[in-house]
């Protein structure tokens, strides 16, 4: 890897600002490829103020310059942006050709990925009244049940969540929420009883060809198995995936605790504060009055909270999958260019070396080492060697998609820090203002 790549690689897991020919973006630097393309996660379009979860790739010919952003609470704003010289600009124009984004125009619309699922759900959500327009179907009779189950059987991915009292083999399941790419169904299990599982829900939940997205499936799995004979299969658990993603980002460390669903949604999706408030309000009402699970008609505000949870679980799955696959995506990209961009003089015979671990894969060890070093600086560690992950609290802010860090008194949370150095990389210039 070139020297410039190594220097920029030292900024992994830091927030950078990219000025492109088609816009200005901000995100956390995830990976630097040998061909000078960059992978960023939690990307935000600074021109529109909108964010998208997951990982985005930015190619060298698109990038005008790179800027490392300082710590959000430092009061210094962003680091000084160096202007590219006319010679550099001339080189970039020659490489890039016409001033357009080519096949990567999607990078100019950073909200597209985030709304990919929610738009297809046909919620017609407005920016300020998302929670008022979420659509769902309450299934509490056989007339509605048949079409709902038929629709579920045709899906590849659904989200599943359960509500009730003490959800385990000793508790009582009241509602089962199941969302697909076009519908949200709220099954009234208290009213339908075991009949619902015997007539289709069990088949869906046990179908190995249908991925079930859940958060902390331990409790509801115990409940469904012991009370209804349902053996859940093919489950993607977002709580477990969040821990795995944390381990990847810190070079193999584990956190001292898991995250609630709300924390995962805040961290990975930056959900609007109003939607988060509705879900938390629903939890509060139910905890204050457990008998509410057995009241019919059921409060519409709680049904709305259930529907939001099911909707965001699908988005959370998509985002976590992007994060978990980011290293593989980067390595495969390097694989594609390993030979075809080289001179080719060494390709006469590869039999003797084809089984050796290539350089494109060896870089994973260096990346993991760097991540571990950064993690030790960014987190406190408990006596068991686990990184202390602080609790996150949603704070009101004007822009619900605003990218930021959350702090907890007495504990350190990863922040985007300015590095007192100047790093040059290819034709870009990265200037970091010394504090």
Domain ranges of the chain: 3-113+333-339+356-374+414-431, 134-322
Query: What was the pLDDT predicted at 244?
Result: 95
Query: What was the pLDDT predicted at 254?
Result: 95
Grade residue 4 by pLDDT with cuts at 50, 70 and 90: low
- Written as six digits, the tokens of 108 are 């100019």
Query: What was the pLDDT predicted at 409?
Result: 31
Query: What was the pLDDT predicted at 7?
Result: 65
Query: What was the pLDDT predicted at 345?
Result: 67
**pLDDT surpasses 70 at 86:** no
**pLDDT surpasses 80 at 260:** yes
What is the distance between the alpha carbons of residues 308 and 127, in angstroms, rounded to a whole number?
15
What is the distance between the alpha carbons of residues 40 and 385, in angstroms, rounded to a whole number?
29
**pLDDT surpasses 60 at 406:** no
The CATH class for the domain spanning 134-322 reads alpha beta
Query: What was the pLDDT predicted at 274?
Result: 67
The overall average pLDDT reported for the chain is 74
What is the distance between the alpha carbons of residues 206 and 212, in angstroms, rounded to a whole number?
9
**pLDDT surpasses 60 at 277:** yes
414-434 per-position pLDDT tens digit = 333 333 332 333 344 444 433
Mean pLDDT of 5-28: 80
What is the distance between the alpha carbons of residues 334 and 336, in angstroms, rounded to a whole number?
5
**pLDDT surpasses 70 at 90:** no
Query: What was the pLDDT predicted at 346?
Result: 64
Burial 89-117 (b: 16+ CB within 10 A, else e): eeebeeebeeeebeebeebbebbebbbeb
Burial 313-346 (b: 16+ CB within 10 A, else e): bbbbbbbbbbbeebbeebbebbeeeeeeeeeeee
Grade residue 351 by pLDDT with cuts at 50, 70 and 90: low
Mean pLDDT of 275-301: 77
Run of H or E residues at 267 = helix 261-269
Q: Is 302 left (phi over 0), alpha (psi -120 to 50) or beta?
A: alpha
Run of H or E residues at 284 = helix 273-288
> What are the backbone dihedrals phi and psi of residue 320, each rounded to the nearest 5 degrees, phi first?
-65, -35
Query: What was the pLDDT predicted at 16?
Result: 87
Max CA separation in the chain (angstroms): 76
What is the distance between the alpha carbons of residues 407 and 391, in angstroms, rounded to a whole number?
8
Grade residue 348 by pLDDT with cuts at 50, 70 and 90: low
Run of H or E residues at 247 = helix 238-249
The CATH class for the domain spanning 3-113+333-339+356-374+414-431 reads mainly beta
Mean pLDDT of 160-188: 94
Grade residue 273 by pLDDT with cuts at 50, 70 and 90: low
Comparing 96-110, 165-179, 263-277, the range with the smallest average pLDDT is 96-110
- Written as six digits, the tokens of 175 are 């509602």
Residue whose structure tokens are 């519908």:
183
**pLDDT surpasses 50 at 178:** yes
Grade residue 195 by pLDDT with cuts at 50, 70 and 90: very high
Mean pLDDT of 191-217: 96
Mean pLDDT of 345-352: 60
226-238 per-position pLDDT tens digit = 999 999 999 999 9
* pLDDT above 70: percentage of residues in the chain: 68
Residue whose structure tokens are 């359960």:
162
């Amino acid at each position: 890897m070139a020297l410039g790549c190594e220097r920029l690689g030292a900024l992994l897991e830091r927030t950078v600002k990219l000025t492109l020919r088609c816009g200005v973006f901000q995100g956390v630097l995830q990976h630097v490829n040998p061909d000078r393309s960059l992978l960023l996660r939690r990307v935000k379009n600074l021109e529109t103020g909108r964010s998208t979860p997951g990982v985005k790739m930015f190619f060298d010919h698109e990038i005008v310059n790179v800027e490392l952003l300082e710590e959000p609470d430092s009061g210094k704003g962003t680091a000084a942006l160096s202007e590219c010289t006319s010679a550099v600009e001339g080189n970039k124009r020659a490489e890039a050709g016409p001033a357009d984004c080519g096949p990567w125009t999607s990078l100019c619309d950073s909200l597209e990925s985030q709304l990919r699922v929610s738009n297809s759900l046909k919620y017609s959500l407005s920016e300020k009244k998302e929670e008022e327009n979420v659509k769902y179907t309450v299934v509490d009779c056989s007339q509605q049940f048949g079409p709902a189950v038929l629709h579920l059987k045709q899906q590849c991915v659904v989200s599943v969540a359960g509500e009730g009292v003490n959800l385990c083999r000793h508790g009582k399941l009241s509602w089962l929420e199941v969302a697909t790419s076009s519908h949200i169904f709220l099954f009234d299990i208290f009213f339908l009883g075991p009949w619902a599982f015997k007539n289709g829900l069990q088949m869906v939940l046990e179908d190995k060809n249908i991925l079930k997205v859940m958060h902390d499936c331990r409790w509801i799995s115990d409940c469904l198995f012991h009370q209804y004979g349902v053996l859940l299969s093919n489950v993607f658990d977002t709580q477990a995936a969040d821990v795995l993603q944390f381990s990847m980002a810190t070079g193999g460390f584990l956190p001292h605790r898991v995250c609630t669903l709300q924390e995962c949604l805040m961290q990975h999706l930056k959900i609007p504060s109003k939607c988060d408030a509705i879900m938390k309000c629903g939890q509060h009402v139910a905890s204050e009055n457990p008998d509410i699970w057995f009241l019919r008609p059921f409060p519409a505000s709680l049904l709305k909270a259930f529907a939001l949870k099911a909707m965001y679980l699908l988005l959370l799955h998509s985002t976590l999958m992007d994060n978990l696959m980011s290293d593989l995506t980067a390595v495969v990209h390097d694989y594609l260019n390993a030979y075809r961009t080289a001179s080719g003089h060494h390709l006469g015979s590869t039999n003797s070396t084809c089984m050796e671990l290539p350089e494109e894969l060896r870089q994973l060890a260096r990346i993991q080492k760097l991540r571990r070093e950064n993690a030790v600086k960014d987190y406190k560690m408990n006596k068991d060697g686990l990184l202390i992950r602080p609790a996150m609290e949603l704070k009101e802010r004007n822009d619900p998609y605003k990218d930021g860090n959350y702090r907890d008194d007495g504990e350190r949370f990863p922040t985007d820090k300015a590095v007192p150095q100047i790093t040059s990389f290819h034709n870009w210039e990265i200037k970091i203002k010394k504090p």
